[in-house]
Every structure is written in C-alpha cells, then in structure tokens.
Amino acid sequence: MARARRVVPRMLAPSRILRTTPSQAGGGRSREALVDRAREAIELGSRSFHAASTLFDRDTRERVWLLYAWCRRCDDLADGQDHGHPADDHSSADHGDAGKRLRAIRLLTGRALDGLPTAEPAFDAFGLVARECGLTREMAEDVIMGFELDAMGWRPRTDEDLARYCYHVAGAVGVMVAVVMGVPRNDSETLDRACDLGIAFQLANIARDLGEDDAADRCYLPIEWLVEQDIEPGQHMKPHHRGELAAMAARLVEHMERHEAAARLGTRRLPFRSRWAVLAAARIYGAIGREVRARGTAAWDHRVVIGRREKAKHVAAAFWEALKNRPPMPDTMPEWTRGSILIDVRMAGPIAKPPMDPLPDDE
C-alpha cells in the first residue's frame, strides 16, 4: 500500500499576507467626481459663499469648493446635521456621543491627509486639496477645535473667548482659503488679514443668528457682556431685553467692521479674480451685519437676508474696488490679532512631550 504523501505547509509570501493601502490624493476618487460633490455641497450650504466663489478662476474655485465640502461635512458630523439642518433620522444627534463624532472627524481627516480612502467624499476632497495646496494638520486641527467647542456646548465668558471661538470656526478657515488661493504659508501679513476676514464673517453670523442660536440652546455673546447689561442667563431674547440685545449686536458689528476693514489690506497681493471674490464676500457679509444693526430691536423678527439684486450690486462694486486695488488704511486696527489668539490657543493645548533624542557628543 502506498504511503500517504506528507504535505509540508508553506508560508505565503509577505505580499499575500498583507498589502498596504496605496497613498494617493483624494483616496483614489477621481478629481472630477470630488469637485462635483463639493459644488453640490456649497450650493446647498451657503448661497453667499457659492456666489462669491464663482468669481475665482477655475482652479481656485474648485479648490475652494473642495475645502468648503470638508468644513461643511465636519460641522454636520459634529452637530448630527445634514447641510446645517437636522438629519432626517436624528440618530447622530440624539444617540451619538459628541466625543466619538469628534474622534471620527479627526480620524477621517488624518486618513485624508495621508492620502488614504475614507469612504466620505468630503474628506477625500480635503485630502486632495491639502495635497495640491500644502494644507497642514495643524491648520486642520485649528478648524476642528471650533467644531469641538460647539459640540461641547461651550460658551464664551470674555472678549478673548469670543475671539478664540471666531478664530477656530472662521478665522482659521480664512487662513486655509488664503493658502488655497496661493498665498505662501510664510506670508504672515496676508494670512493675518485672511484671518480677519473670517472673523468678520463669523461676527456677522453671530449678530444675525442670535435668535436661531437661542432656540438651539446656544449663545455666543460673552457672559461678561450679559452681566454688564444685567441680563439673566438664557433670557437675552426676551422682549423686555430687546434694547440691550440690539446694543450688544451693534457691538458685534463694530468688531466686524474693524476686521472687515483690516482684511481689505490683505487683498492687495492677491490675483485680480481672487481679490474680486474676496471683496465681494466681504461686502455681502458686511451688509448682513450692518442690516442687523440698522434694524435695531426688530433685527430678529425676520432673518436678515441679502437678496440677489443687492448681491449683484455688491459684486459689481467689488469689481471696481478690485480693479482700483488701493484699500484705505483703517482708522483703527482690530483688538484681536491672529498672533495673540494663537498664543492663547497653543497655551490652552496639551503640553508637548520633551524631546528624548540624545544630545550630540561634544567634540
């Protein structure tokens, strides 16, 4: 009887055991598909931003859309929303843990920056634009910290707290947009002005949305301001406080105008079409803030909206302003600067581990 043949097990070649996922910008998705999805996101998420973005040259416009898609998606994940509105199933908002959602945002952003697929088009879009323009993890983290503040139900106590919040949710985005437009990362002056523009946008949003934020149990007016006006916590939208509320909104708009004026100085070095788009956005958002102030105590009876005709006027005025390219020097520069805010941000962060590399031998 023939003896059974002994089978000796063989190890598979390492390449058959585990293959690493190749790193490629956009996680392997086509650029065209990512741009199409990003365009849909900005059309749904912000008509004002979409209108201004059409003034960019094609490459810059598409990169701005890619960046916006990531910002929008991160905001939605952090809040459990869909394009700024409650999700249909409410599952993320009602049952999800904010900490888990933020960890997911950081994980997906990290994978996108590494060129790995994320299964989320908006994050793949961010990976693509980051690779094309040199956006960094630190830039991304500064923005994510803003989503974290909102998810934690954080509220500002002081002017400095408000400045830091505005930096994270808008000023840091302004810095990234400037880099996307081609501003070198070492051009601190222009990046400072881009940060000013983002802060101006956010101050206009806060002034306009005081009622909507209160309905969502949020308030971005510093607690010290409320104390100065002798307003009880959570009572600032009550009818008998409308006078004090209008005064605080006017204070927000005053800050907005200082940052708006400072931001114009940074447009001088931009290409014409980028300068035109930035100035158009500044005019549109500035108009929102000034309309809130003009309405006084009635500012929150109906949402302040800049109509198409008025937007067209601002776009036309921005064209001539961009063509002239001689922004006036503001009478007063903003109290809040990117440098001072970043010091507070870095000081509030975790202490970096000391380097453990051995010192070189003395010669």
The string of pLDDT tens digits covering residues 264-280 is 999 999 999 999 999 99
Do 122 and 35 belong together in one domain? yes
Among residues 106, 136, 166, which one ends one of the domains?
Answer: 136
The residues that bridge with 86 in the sheet, in sequence order, are 81
Which of the pair, 319 or 5, is modelled with greater confidence?
319
Of 107, 136, 165, which one is at a domain's C-terminal end?
136
pLDDT exceeds cutoff 80 at 185:
yes
> Does some domain include residue 129?
yes
pLDDT tens for 186-196 read 999 999 999 99
> Between the CA of residue 310 and those of 42, 243, 283, 329, 360, what are the distances in Å?
20, 28, 10, 26, 65
Question: Are 165 and 31 contained in the same domain?
Answer: no
Where is the domain boundary, 78, 109, 136? 136
**Same domain membership, residue 195 and residue 80:** no
Domain count for the chain: 2
**Average pLDDT, integer, range 143-163:** 92
Q: How far apart are CA 166 and CA 263, in angstroms?
A: 15
Any idea what DSSP says for residue 230?
A: T
Grouping H, G, I as helix, E, B as strand and the rest as coil, residue 346 is helix
Residue 153's pLDDT band (boundaries 50, 70, 90)? confident
Mean pLDDT (the chain) is 88
Q: Is residue 244 part of a domain?
A: yes
Q: Per residue in 101-118, pLDDT tens?
A: 999 999 999 999 999 999
Q: What is the pLDDT of residues 114-150, one digit of tens each?
A: 999 999 999 999 999 999 999 999 999 999 999 999 8
Residue 168 has pLDDT above 60, yes or no: yes
Q: Are residues 55 and 159 in the same domain?
A: no
Residue 161 sits in the same domain as residue 304: yes
Q: Give the per-residue pLDDT at 192.
A: 97
145 within some domain: no
Q: What confidence score (pLDDT) does residue 20 get?
A: 60
Domain span at 115? 24-136
Please tell me which of 91-100, 127-136, 151-160 the model is most confident about, judged by mean pLDDT.
127-136
**Residue 84 token pair:** 């700024």
Return the amino acid letter for 99: G
Confidence band, pLDDT 50/70/90 cuts, at residue 82: low
Asked if residue 323 and residue 242 are part of one domain, the reply reads yes
In this prediction, residue 299 has a pLDDT band, given cuts at 50, 70 and 90, of very high
234: left (phi over 0), alpha (psi -120 to 50) or beta: left
Residue at 356: amino acid letter = M
Query: H or E segment at 17?
Result: helix 14-17
φ and ψ at residue 217, rounded to 5 degrees: 60, 40
Residue 94 is predicted with a pLDDT of 44
Rounded to two decimals, the pTM is: 0.86
- Could you report the per-residue pLDDT of 38-76, keeping only the tens digit for each? 999 999 988 878 888 899 999 999 999 999 999 999 999
| 78-87, 157-166, 282-291: least confident range | 78-87
CATH code for the domain in which residue 248 is found: 1.10.600.10
- Would the pLDDT of 208 be above 60? yes
Same domain, 85 and 179: no
Q: With contact defined as beta carbons under 8 Å apart, do 164 and 345 qualify?
A: yes
